[in-house]
């Protein structure tokens, strides 16, 4: 816990998970390379949660068998994300360095919509997309607060809170909303437009599913990226107008 209005500090939960193991949790949390973070996390779970060496050996074997399928799900998500961002399957495949046939196999294998299907049912209508808009507005506001006052640490805390957002979207939304209520008390009267963006995105969420499917996750990532780009462009435009004003 943070000691501030019962906001959950997720790094503390991770430290509790690895308590008693040889894992350097602080180093893991501080590492910004997502590949290394993933490797450290897997090692930490295997070492910290399985004490018996025989059972741990069996768990490693089971993980090795399951890993290719799990990685293909992530690859399918990458293709689905590009396709949901108005790109053709061929263009998505070219960017990822794979064949168009392989891209189609990944989409079909994980039931991701094709460009034709997306035209019939736009991603913008999906709960994952609406959730992505909320997360994009939240991350942009968190960065703005950190720039104004680096000791706020909003971006780091937000990253920890949203690390597994797809598993508990409604719970993540509640935690993030509560955290922003606390952070924004430090900035009375500031960030009005970004606050309004976040509040509107929150109001537009509607009912969120218990978890997000892979297709919904791809929509979430697309919307999050688009929202951040839109807010950055608006900020740049307004800054330019302010500079031109006498």
Average pLDDT of 231-240?
85
- What is the pLDDT averaged over residues 110-128? 76
Instruction: Say whether pLDDT at 2 is over 70.
Output: no
Domain for residue 54, yes or no? no
pLDDT band at 242 (very low <50, low <70, confident <90, very high): confident
Residues 40, 147: one domain? Answer: no
Measured from the Cβ of residue 114, the count of other Cβ atoms closer than 10 Å reads 15
- What is the per-residue DSSP string for the chain? --SSTT---HHHHHHHHTTTSS--HHHHHH---HHHHHHHHHHHHHHHH--SHHHHHHHHHHHHHHHHHHHHHHHHHHHHHHHHTT--HHHHHHHHTS-HHHHHHHHHHTTPPPHHHHHHS-GGGSHHHHHHHHHHHHHHHHHHHHHH-GGG-HHHHHHHHTTTTTT-HHHHHHHHHHHHHHHGGGSTT--HHHHHHHHHHHHT--SPPSS--HHHHHHHHHHHHHHHHHHHHHHHHHHHHHHH--
Quick one: 167 and 149 in the same domain? yes
Q: Using 50, 70 and 90 to split pLDDT, how confident is the model at 218?
A: confident
Q: What pLDDT was estimated at residue 80?
A: 82
pTM, whole model, 2 decimals?
0.64
pLDDT in tens, 49-90: 888 999 999 999 999 999 998 898 889 888 887 887 778 899
The predicted pLDDT at position 4 comes to 36
Comparing 49-63, 106-120, 127-141, 208-222, which segment has the lowest mean pLDDT? Answer: 106-120
40 and 84 together in one domain: no
Domain boundary among the residues 97, 121, 145 is at 121
| Domain presence at residue 58 | no
pLDDT for 20: 57
Q: Are residues 172 and 216 in the same domain?
A: yes
For residue 132, being part of any structural domain is answered with yes
Q: Are residues 111 and 145 in the same domain?
A: no
In a domain, 59, yes or no: no
Residues 171 and 232 reside in one and the same domain: yes
Say yes or no to pLDDT of 7 above 60.
no
Cα(100)–Cα(97) distance, rounded to whole angstroms?
9
Spell out the residues 6+ positions from residue 175 whose beta carbon is closer than 8 angstroms to its own: 7, 8, 161
Q: What is the structure's pLDDT at 27?
A: 57
Does the structure show a pLDDT above 70 at 26? no
Q: What is the mean pLDDT of residues 131-144?
A: 94
Please give the share of the chain, as a percent, with pLDDT higher than 90.
Answer: 38
For residue 226, being part of any structural domain is answered with yes
Tally the domains of the chain.
3
Mean pLDDT lowest among 15-24, 49-58, 142-151, 199-208: 15-24
Q: Is residue 57 part of a domain?
A: no
The pLDDT value recorded for residue 3 is 36
Q: How confident is the model at residue 93 (pLDDT cuts 50, 70, 90)?
A: very high
Whether 107 and 194 share a structural domain? no
The per-residue pLDDT for 203 is 94
218 and 136 within one domain:
yes
On whether residue 19 sits in a domain, the answer given is yes
Are residues 108 and 190 both part of a single domain? no
Q: Are residues 207 and 164 in the same domain?
A: yes
Q: Are residues 34 and 140 in the same domain?
A: no
Average pLDDT, the chain: 82
The answer, yes or no, to whether residue 204 has pLDDT greater than 50, is yes
Q: Evaluate whether residue 24 is within a structural domain.
A: yes
Host domain of residue 171: 125-244
Q: Tell me: do 106 and 10 sit in the same domain.
A: no
């Amino acid at each position: 816990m943070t000691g501030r209005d019962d906001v959950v500090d997720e790094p503390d939960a991770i430290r509790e998970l690895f308590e008693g193991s040889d894992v350097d949790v602080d180093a893991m949390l501080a590492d910004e390379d997502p590949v290394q973070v993933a490797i450290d996390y897997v090692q930490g779970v295997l070492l910290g949660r399985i004490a018996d060496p025989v059972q741990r050996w069996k768990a490693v074997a089971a993980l090795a068998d399951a890993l290719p399928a799990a990685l293909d799900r992530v690859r399918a998500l990458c293709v689905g994300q590009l396709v949901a961002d108005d790109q053709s399957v061929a263009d998505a495949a070219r960017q990822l360095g794979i064949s168009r046939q392989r891209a189609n196999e990944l989409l079909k294998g994980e039931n991701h919509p094709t460009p034709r299907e997306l035209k019939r049912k736009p991603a913008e209508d999906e709960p994952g997309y609406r959730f992505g808009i909320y997360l994009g507005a939240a991350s942009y506001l968190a960065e703005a607060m950190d720039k104004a006052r680096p000791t706020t640490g909003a971006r780091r805390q937000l990253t920890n809170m949203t690390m597994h957002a797809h598993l508990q979207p409604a719970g993540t939304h509640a935690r993030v909303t509560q955290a922003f209520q606390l952070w924004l008390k430090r900035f009375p009267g500031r960030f009005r437009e970004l606050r309004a963006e976040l509040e509107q995105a929150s109001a537009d969420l509607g009912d969120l599913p218990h978890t997000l499917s892979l297709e919904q996750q791809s929509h979430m990532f697309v919307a999050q990226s688009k929202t951040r780009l839109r807010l950055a462009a608006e900020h740049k435009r307004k800054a330019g107008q302010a500079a031109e004003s006498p």
